[in-house]
């Protein structure tokens, strides 16, 4: 009976708190991870890392970890000229070449690794991305993308104590049902419209789910179908200062709408300060620093106002971006 109650508590815990752990505060960092249509949006190969702390009551080992690598495939003549050692002396002709629709046409591919640990729950994911970017005018580009995710959910038994393992029917059901594991394939599709100043992207997540390793007890752990819209704008108010608002709306088939937003104030391309809001749940403080050597560091601290406040005094999130072969000192698309 005790183990039944334990699993009911795990179910409730993941339903209430697991979604928050999976819901990132830094919605502007590595947007390819959540919106596959933006895969390869950077003009350089990019690598990203992220760690999000779990709620305080789950110990130091619990948390959310992500790592990703994205590669833009460009074959336009503008890309060839940009890579060559020769420079076009006429600035107007150079801009026309580099900004032409043919030069900006590209594909994007990427790979992402995710891990979440929440008490006895252990989730691991491998996700592959593809996007095609088609310029439709001098400024605007339309992109279509998709991602395929392999997800495995598992409950660890090493810390469970069962008085009579042989005769405990519920325990035996879990052990004999894929050894406490559940795995599936999930498919996302998305579309985006963007230019250097702003972007709009829409994604249908977990639209198709295929069970690979079925476990009725752990059925609740797999992702639900959801729809996400994210928009961002870069408003240059002075040559040295800019404001960058972001807004995200999510709809989950299991529990409805979710609203998030962030506003950052950036000095040159070096540092930003900002604030974030997750409606009816938390406020966030944001900080970003451009470290010489193509490293971009993001930090956020969440202060909870909703029911989760009972479980957390505050949650930290740290992420890192790196651009390879960044000779012209460019910045990530959403920096």
> In the chain, what is the straight-line distance between the N-terminal and C-terminal CA atoms, in Å?
52
Question: Which pLDDT tens digit goes with each residue over 72-107?
Answer: 998 655 554 454 444 556 666 655 566 666 777 999
Instruction: Find out whether 117 and 61 touch, Cβ atoms under 8 Å.
Output: yes
Q: Which two tokens stand for residue 122?
A: 């252990």
Which residues make Cβ contacts (< 8 Å) with residue 83, sequence separation at least 6? none
pLDDT score, position 63: 86
Identify any residues that bridge with 192 across adjacent strands, giving them in sequence order: 143, 201
- Token couple for 35: 């919106």
Tallying the residues shown for the chain, one arrives at: 335
Q: Where are the alpha helices (DSSP H) in the chain?
A: 2-13, 19-22, 77-83, 91-98, 101-104, 169-176
Using DSSP, state whether 167 is helix, strand or coil. Answer: coil
Contact 74, 82 (CB under 8 A): no
Residue 76 contacts by C-beta under 8 Å, 6 or more apart in sequence? Answer: 100, 102, 103, 104, 105, 106
* Domains parsed from the chain with CATH numbers: 2-268 (2.40.160)
Work out the burial of residue 153: count CB atoms within 10 Å of its CB; fewer than 13 is exposed, 13-18 middle, 19 or more buried. buried
Q: How many CB atoms lie within 10 A of CB 243?
A: 15
CB 124 within 8 A of CB 182: no
pLDDT in tens, 33-66: 999 999 999 989 999 999 998 765 555 667 899 9
- Which tokens belong to 265? 């104030």
Report the predicted TM-score, pTM, of the whole model to 2 decimal places. 0.83
- Concatenating the DSSP letter of every residue in 40-107 gives T-SSS-EEEEEEEEPPGGG-TT-EEEEEEEEEEEE-SHHHHHHHSS---S-HHHHHHHHTSHHHH-EE
Q: What is the pLDDT along the chain (335 residues), one digit of tens a residue?
A: 444 444 554 555 555 555 555 678 999 998 999 999 999 999 899 999 999 987 655 556 678 999 999 999 986 555 544 544 445 566 666 555 666 667 779 999 999 999 988 777 789 999 999 999 999 998 899 999 999 999 998 876 655 566 766 777 766 666 665 556 888 999 999 999 999 999 999 999 988 888 887 766 666 677 888 999 999 999 999 999 999 999 999 998 887 899 999 999 999 999 999 999 998 888 999 999 999 878 999 999 999 886 777 666 788 999 999 999 888 788 999 98
CA distance 160 to 169: 15
Measured CA to CA, the distance from residue 302 to residue 284 in angstroms comes to 4
Count Cβ neighbours within 10 Å for each residue of 9-32 and write b for 16 or more, e otherwise. Answer: ebbebbeebbebbebbbbbbbbbb
């Amino acid at each position: 009976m005790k183990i039944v109650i334990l699993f009911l508590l795990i179910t409730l815990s993941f339903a209430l708190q697991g979604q928050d752990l999976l819901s990132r505060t830094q919605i502007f960092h590595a947007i390819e991870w959540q919106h596959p249509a933006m895969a390869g949006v950077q003009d350089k190969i990019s690598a990203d890392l992220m760690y999000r702390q779990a709620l305080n009551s789950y110990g130091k080992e619990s948390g959310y970890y992500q790592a990703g690598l994205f590669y833009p495939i460009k074959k336009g003549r503008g890309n060839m000229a940009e890579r060559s050692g020769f420079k076009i002396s006429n600035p107007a002709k150079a801009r026309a070449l580099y900004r032409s629709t043919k030069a900006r046409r590209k594909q994007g591919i990427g790979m992402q690794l995710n891990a979440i640990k929440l008490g006895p729950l252990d989730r691991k994911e491998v996700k592959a991305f593809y996007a095609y970017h088609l310029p439709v005018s001098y400024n605007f580009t339309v992109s279509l993308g998709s991602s395929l995710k392999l997800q495995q959910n598992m409950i660890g038994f090493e810390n469970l104590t069962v008085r009579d393992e042989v005769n405990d029917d519920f325990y035996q059901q879990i052990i004999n049902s894929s050894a406490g594991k559940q795995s599936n394939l999930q498919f996302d599709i998305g579309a985006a419209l963007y230019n250097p100043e702003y972007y709009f992207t829409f994604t249908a997540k977990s639209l198709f789910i295929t069970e690979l390793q079925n476990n009725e007890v752990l059925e609740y752990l797999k992702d639900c179908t959801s729809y996400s819209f994210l928009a961002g704008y870069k408003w240059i108010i002075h040559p040295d200062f800019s404001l960058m608002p972001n807004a995200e709306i999510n709809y989950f088939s299991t529990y409805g709408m979710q609203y998030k937003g962030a506003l950052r104030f950036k000095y040159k391309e070096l540092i930003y300060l900002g604030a974030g809001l997750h409606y009816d749940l938390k406020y966030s403080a944001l900080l970003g620093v451009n470290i010489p050597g193509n490293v971009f560091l993001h930090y956020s601290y969440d202060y909870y106002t909703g029911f989760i406040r009972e479980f957390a005094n505050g949650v930290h999130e740290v992420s890192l971006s790196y651009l390879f072969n960044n000779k012209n000192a460019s910045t990530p698309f959403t920096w």
